[in-house]
Structure 1
């Protein structure tokens, strides 16, 4: 069975090399230090849904390294802020799911991924994940090729790689996948995400002050929240907060998600070595998923995309909603 959940190690290493170089140049320009003791660890699903490898979401001291390729068509009528506010309105209309700490957040997604960042064939797969709602168990996953409806793999337990030795795994549980404690006020949520940034597992020698003090770090942390389940009011606040922060742009031209659904793409800031676009339904503005592209020698190419098909709360890994 084709392995779909992790980008090639060489790809991640190149992005981390780029990160270190940029951080070195920016270290003296960044002010306030970010104390490591104030950070909670969030697992943004980079091993679970490696189409969005953590390395490509690194914020670098306010320097946005990305190529704005918005095409030749006229830009959409609505701005990124307007679309995000419409996404917030749509989020408020969604039914709320509740979960006990011993339950699991189930997510099924359609993914498109290729092993090499800028060449090679794409693989279309379907992935099911069971993430601990309360952070008291390891994530489990199974997958199949879209061309093989009955070809589901066995359940696999996923563990976080040891940052000091990527060949080893840590026997530690991820952070809760049910984000029920997030504030529902945009201002309070901004302060919360600023004070609790996602743990980027930086390479040795990287300047944490430059990275975690970056102006777009809150965007990076906000993106990580979308890998789990955020209740409607908090989700609306998340989009409202993104709408207020500068840096996001709407990509022009026709866009579809990995499942073929018409979408609007919002390119988010704070990415090195490539771009991450959030996709929203073109009519309802409900969040559909995301896609990741890489930039090599000035050329941008799609590396991976994921479309959320369904999300639910279940009692155990392997259980279907």
Structure 2
């Protein structure tokens, strides 16, 4: 007889605790546990919920109500937070691939959306293009060593611009057409496309979230500023690139601490793959990060308008929908993974 059955026999008038209540308690345990204990609990969450149920039932019998949200200033609703903590534990335990400075990071994505709203314009197109491209097959090669942000000498009279001879380059093929982009310094100090920047981000979730909010706060003067939505968008941008297992785990953990993040167990990426969706609504749109069930591999993102946007874009329109099909390390630009 397990604890649930013992509780039923002793107090048959007490209903079983709801799954949301159990999830909330598990999140509190995960928050309070030491990191090593937290990982052990996270890996065996179904069993952990059963063990916790007896204590929760006793609280319920005493007439104490439990609210399925985290304590403190706020965090993701309990079911989303629990799943994100499990994702962090699973990713943290996965092997870390080795990347040499001379190598390149290859990322293959499939994206569609509204140009100028959720996606960039296709090469050679702009707002005056009668029928702009809305679907993109993108192959990108990023230098593993990263951009030359810290070592880039300024051009005379242009202190914030690097000379093309020393700037790293991003090689990209969009719908079969190749473009080369210089990776110049980002004046905001936040550049997910630069591997040198990404490698320096903290892998402690608390420190990372503090850094994310610090970046978000630079937009505090903007109309309709939503600090937590800015944080989710910054995390989504990082998820979309090549990051270490340790940093990806910290991103999941950090996302679990952002208020308003919700989970959809039947999310679909732009390639039709089903997974878990973690989303938040703000700035007139819902941003959803989609990951694979079980492995928690990043699959893509989806941005949907929840109100009318400029240019005749109606509420409900998908502004951006992506699928990250492949991420690999190769020895040179334009090389495809084997």
- Relative distance call for 1:125 and 1:95 in structure 2 (3 A) is farther
Q: Which residue of 2 aligns with 1:194?
A: 213
- Relative distance call for 1:175 and 1:279 in structure 2 (3 A) is same
Equivalent position SS for 1:96: coil
**Larger RCO (alpha carbons 8 Å, 6+ apart):** 1
Q: Determine if contact 2:212/2:235 at 8 Å carries over to the other structure.
A: yes
- Relative distance call for 1:121 and 1:138 in structure 2 (3 A) is closer
Alpha-carbon offset, residue 303 of structure 1: 2.3
Q: Which has the larger radius of gyration?
A: 2
Structure 1, unaligned runs of 5 or more: 1-76, 145-151, 164-171
Alpha-carbon offset, residue 282 of structure 1: 3.2
Aligned Cα RMSD in Å? 3.9
Please report the TM-score for the alignment, with normalisation by the length of structure 1. 0.57
Alpha-carbon offset, residue 257 of structure 1: 0.9
- Relative distance call for 1:288 and 1:273 in structure 2 (3 A) is same
> Separation in 2 of the partners of 1:286 and 1:173?
18
- 1:240 equivalent to 2:253? Answer yes
Q: Which residue of 2 aligns with 1:103?
A: 103
Q: Determine if contact 1:132/1:177 at 8 Å carries over to the other structure.
A: no
After TM superposition, the structure 1 = structure 2 runs for residues 1-321 of structure 1, keeping only pairs within 5 Å, are 79-115=79-115, 123-133=134-144, 134-136=146-148, 137-144=168-175, 152-153=176-177, 155-159=178-182, 175-176=194-195, 179-195=198-214, 197=215, 207=221, 214-251=227-264, 254-269=266-281, 271-297=282-308, 299-321=315-337
1:102-129 CA-partner distances (Å, limit 9, x unpaired): 43221011223344869x9995542111
Structure 2, unaligned runs of 5 or more: 1-76, 119-130, 149-167, 309-313
Q: Determine if contact 2:80/2:278 at 8 Å carries over to the other structure.
A: yes
> Separation in 2 of the partners of 1:121 and 1:95?
42
> Separation in 2 of the partners of 1:293 and 1:173?
22
Please report the TM-score for the alignment, with normalisation by the length of structure 2. 0.54
Q: Determine if contact 2:217/2:227 at 8 Å carries over to the other structure.
A: no
Structure with greater proportional helix content: 2
Equivalent position SS for 1:306: strand
Q: Determine if contact 2:276/2:291 at 8 Å carries over to the other structure.
A: yes
> Separation in 1 of the partners of 2:112 and 2:291?
17
1:201-236 CA-partner distances (Å, limit 9, x unpaired): x7xxx936995x935543333222223222112211
Equivalent position SS for 1:300: coil
> Separation in 2 of the partners of 1:162 and 1:176?
12
> Separation in 2 of the partners of 1:179 and 1:267?
23
- Relative distance call for 1:95 and 1:160 in structure 2 (3 A) is same
- Relative distance call for 1:260 and 1:177 in structure 2 (3 A) is farther
